[in-house]
Structure 1
Amino acid sequence: MPRTTDQEAVCGDLLDSPLGPMLALLNEQGALLRLDFLPDNQVPAQWHGYTWQRDTAAVAPVARQLDEYFAGQRRVFDLPLAPRGTPYQHEAWRHLRQVPYGVTLTYAELGMRLLPHKTSARAIGRANALNPISIIVPCHRIIGADGSLTGYAGGLQRKLALLELEGVHTAARQQVLL
């Protein structure tokens, strides 16, 4: 997990969303480090190794773009991002950002896009699981080979809700609602 250093100033804020509270963390340059659904309404002073200070003004662009997304007015985000990860993870996340709004791919299909280093569905699944920037790096758009909703750090109910917001009607709806 990333650890903050004495030199690294991290700010953030709690954001309201229709799917529950989220926490956005930014670095000194204002680039998004993390965007996570919180498991409850508590605002942790430390999150995934980052000690942060509240700065609502700095996080306002993230909040605005998320509000627009949830209102159906935004399909593409244009925020500076600075997720921490390996070179492979960065490549996988870059490809995730190229999956258009309202489109789903399977883990295997996304793996085939990582040319010249084609990779397995399992490796893509792991990179997705470690995606630190929910929604904006849209790992919710990646589904199982059979169309099922598999793995989402925010929970399968949220994954389904995000896909439905984007107009994706999935056969997995019944499985999640049971």
Structure 2
Amino acid sequence: MKKFVTLFTASYKELRYVRTITIAAMFGAIAIILGMFSINFGNYIRLSFASIPNGLISCLFGPVVGGLFSGSMDVLKYLLKPNGAFFPGLTLVTVLSGVIYGCFYYKKAITLKRVLISKLIVMLICNVVLNTLCLSILYGKGFMVLLPARALKNLVMWPIDSMIFYSMVKALDSIGVFKIIQKPGTAGLK
């Protein structure tokens, strides 16, 4: 339990640094651009790779910053490109996904197994159950009516999203991006 509290405390302390806010803003711009190229299949199913920057921020700065980033990006993307009605429950689910990613990735080695497990948990809890519940409330459709298509989409996207995120993390790590970003004294960014 102490490690869990320390994880959140360390992540909260990341908010003190200008570099954290600056890097989050840059990744936010990338998330907005990726969100603009999402593919919608009606009101209930959307394919997008905008979650990649959310996972990277959670990996770099932890669950507190990851949750705040994910929630703020959800609201900002909606303001820039409204798609359907706004529902605060969906934003809270996005915050939860950022927190979950932060718990799995922050100050830990990113392995394919860790990515697969974290993506599976987020897809099951957040995407399949909670988002479907929010959509059911928002659009007045039955939960069980929406569930099969959303579960199938997430099941198909699980290995694809996992491989894309894992490959992105490994590529950024191999060229030294994470070392530059995480180094507290780099070029006065602290």
> TM-score over 0.5 for the alignment?
no
Bigger fraction of residues in helix: 2
TM-score (norm 2): 0.29
The structure, 1 or 2, with the larger RCO (C-alpha pairs under 8 Å, 6+ apart) is 2
TM-score (norm 1): 0.31
